[in-house]
Structure 1
Amino acid sequence: MINGIFGWFWITIGFVGGMILGMKFRHDDWLGGYSAFPRRLVRLGHISFIGLGFVNILFAHSVVNLPANYVFSVASLVFIGGAITMPTCCFLAAWQRNWLFIFSIPIILLVLGGCLTLIGLISR
């Protein structure tokens, strides 16, 4: 249940963030221009709120009628962690390019969440 609530919260943050960022998008030179690295990462960070919110909602719906177990409990937390760290990494790397190395954190968390969910669904 927590993933469903978190997912809708995260999507709402993505909508509000998009509204705020949208106020600047019309300026061609904002963050170095449309194809500039910082602007691309800010766009990726914004859309990751919405996309990973959907992933959390999908996870919640996938396990809602299944008995709770350790695998699903860990997957739940890992998906939330991945959703939090992905936009954080995007915005940090947009600000300072040498932060790119931290992208391994959300990637590992999200891949782990997917693997744990598959294991839990297959072994039920």
Structure 2
Amino acid sequence: MINLYTAWISMLLGSVAGAVTGMFFYNKDFLGGYSSWRRRMIRLGHIAFFGIGLINLAFALSLQALGIAQTPAAASYLLILAAVTMPLTCYLSAIKPYFRNFFFIPALSTILAIILFVWRMYER
């Protein structure tokens, strides 16, 4: 159930982030121009809210559809970790490129969560 809340909160934050940055995107030089590192990271952070949010939503609905009563806790927490750390890493990387070195955290969290879920799905 927590992944369902995480999904919708993530999509709300993605909408807010898109609305805020969208107010400035008309300026072609905003954050260094369309192809600048900063602007790309801001766009990726905005989309990450939706992407990881949708993965959390799919996870929550799949548990229900497959009748898996006991939520695989590790997979659940890893997806929540990814929902927090992917946009955070994107926005921090826009401020200071050093933070790009931490993209392995949300990426690995997502990969491991999906592996655990698929394993649990075929285990039943």
Indicate the TM-score class for this superposition, using the shorter chain for normalisation: over 0.9
Q: TM-score normalized by structure 2?
A: 0.95
Q: Name the residue aligned to 2:2.
A: 2
- Cα deviation, residue 17, structure 1: 1.0
Counterpart of 2:77? Answer: 77
Contact between 2:45 and 2:87, CA under 8 Å: does it hold in 1?
yes
Match of 1:48? 48
**Superimposed CA distance per residue, residues 6-31 of structure 1 (whole angstroms, 9 cap, x where no aligned partner):** 10111011111100110111111111
CA offset digits 1:66-109 (Å, max 9, x no partner): 1305xx11101100101100001001111111221111111110
Report how many residues are paired: 122
2:24 maps to a residue whose letter is K
* Partner Cα separation in structure 2 for residue 21 and residue 83 of structure 1: 20
**Identity level (%):** 38
Aligned position for 2:116: 116
Separation of aligned partners in 1, 2:9 and 2:88:
16
Cα deviation per residue 1:16-49 (whole Å; 9 max; x = unaligned)? Answer: 1100110111111111000101100110000000
Q: Structure 2 unaligned segments of length 5 or more: list them.
A: none
Three-state SS of the structure 1 residue aligned to 2:27 is: coil
Equivalent-residue separation in structure 2 for 1:115 and 1:73 (angstroms): 13
Aligned to 2:20: 20
Moved over 6 A (4+): none
Where do 5+ consecutive residues of structure 1 fail to align?
none
SS for the counterpart of 2:34 is: coil
Residue from 67, 77, 80 that aligns with 2:69? 67
TM-score (norm 1): 0.95
For 1:68 and 1:90, the matched residues in 2 are separated by 33
